[in-house]
Amino acid sequence: MNRAIELVHSDAKAVLENRAEMLAALRGQHIFISGGAGFLGIWLIELFKVLNEQHAFNTRLTVFSRHATTLPLRWPHLGQLEYINYENGDIRYLGEIPRDTPYVIHAAALTDRRLLASIPSLVAEINGLGTLKILQAAGRLENLKKFILLSSGLVYGKQPWDMPLLDETYSGNLPTNSVGNTYAESKRYAEIIAQCAISESKLPIVILRPFAFVGPYQSLQLPWAITDFMRDSLNGGPLRIMGDGSTVRSLMYASDYAFWVLAALANAQPNKTYNIGSPEAVSLGDLAQMITQFFSPVPRILTRVGQSGHERTRSVPSVDKIMNDLGVRITVPLARAVERSISWNKLLQSK
């Protein structure tokens, strides 16, 4: 376990090296993070741990989640930190945010595709009503400086195959007669609620549209291609790909993801919308090959698993806007991101 934590700490330090002052606006501030016990939330805590302990930021956090107080039990190095308050709660019933909070990150959402398949209405309720509740609470804060809404790259709908990168101006098509679009539509609705808050209450909201990510703390039980491939490889294989492997995705490493969110919190102008993700495209076939090279014996890769005629899709963001506006950049390329993620999981498996 200690070696796994050392890996994370090294990556958190690396992404902040010579960049901590880009986040200077957050010094001495109180930040409320909904969904703070999830993948992104834990990485935000890791970065603030470095900022507070090595860069004297003196930033306080309120981490709000359904199971927030279990986080230090699962990861003891995140407990016993006097600058973090872990608060259990359901975002649908949030009444208030601590009054001295000038910065809010709203990351609470249901993203598990298994719940999308079994209880899609719950996904719509939490992602929609939860956003309304936290915006209402934020509207009662006396000194709100920035509110970050984590939306999703899925709000664009299907990316045209001949469009290499998807930018923030694209207006896609999401059929409303498909329950499979529940998550994407719930995020579109969350963005509309945010626009209402901007219009009615002049809240300083910045919308971020995350794409796909990889890194330590990501549960391998989630049914995503990257988590499926790593889990299957750790179990000896085979890796299973629906379709012929030509579907294209991109993956951003967790430390870059967390830093970009904090850069937006510190420096983005209100009423801006940004993609967050990597513009480095990779086919699922190539991604599977990349992962298997870290295992011996090399696991087999099976293609065309599942239904026949599986449609290839593409999901790769343009991030020129956020890079130009906020001065952020990718510090961990895809191959390195995959290697670090596999190393983390091997360390956990060997504990």
Q: 18 Cβ partners below 8 Å, 6+ apart?
A: none
If we measure between CA atoms, which residue out of 170, 278, 281, 165 comes closest to residue 215?
Answer: 278
Pairwise CA distance, residues 262 & 5, whole Å: 21
Domains, the chain, with CATH or none: 2-213+252-278+315-333 (3.40.50.720)
What's the whole-number mean pLDDT along residues 18-24? 98
307 pLDDT exceeds 70? no
User: Directed axis angle between helix 39-55 and helix 2-16, to 10°?
Assistant: 70
Residue 114 near residue 122 (C-beta atoms within 8 A): no
Residue 273 near residue 259 (C-beta atoms within 8 A): no
Residue 66 near residue 305 (C-beta atoms within 8 A): no
What's the whole-number mean pLDDT along residues 287-295? 97
Q: Which residue has the higher pLDDT, 177 or 141?
A: 141
- pLDDT at position 172 is 87
112: pLDDT confidence band, cut at 50, 70 and 90?
confident
Prior bond of 175 cis (ω within 30°): no
- pLDDT at position 41 is 97
Average of per-residue pLDDT values in the chain: 95
Q: Phi and psi at residue 150, in whole multiples of 5°? A: -85, 105
Tens of pLDDT along 171-189? Answer: 988 888 888 899 999 999 9
- pLDDT at position 306 is 64
Strands of the sheet containing 84-88, edge to edge, are 84-88, 60-65, 30-34, 103-106, 146-150, 205-210, 272-276
For residue 188, how far is the Cα from the chain centroid?
A: 17
pLDDT > 70: what percent of the chain?
A: 98
What's the whole-number mean pLDDT along residues 242-259? 96
Tens of pLDDT along 308-317? Answer: 556 899 999 9
351 pLDDT exceeds 90? no
Query: What's the predicted TM-score (pTM) here?
Result: 0.96
Assigned token pair, 210: 């995350």
What's the whole-number mean pLDDT along residues 225-247? 95
User: Cα 158–115–149 angle (5° rounding)?
Assistant: 60
Q: How many CB atoms lie within 10 A of CB 168?
A: 17
- pLDDT at position 110 is 84
If we measure between CA atoms, which residue out of 63, 54, 50 comes closest to residue 101?
Answer: 63
Tens of pLDDT along 113-127? Answer: 777 778 889 999 999
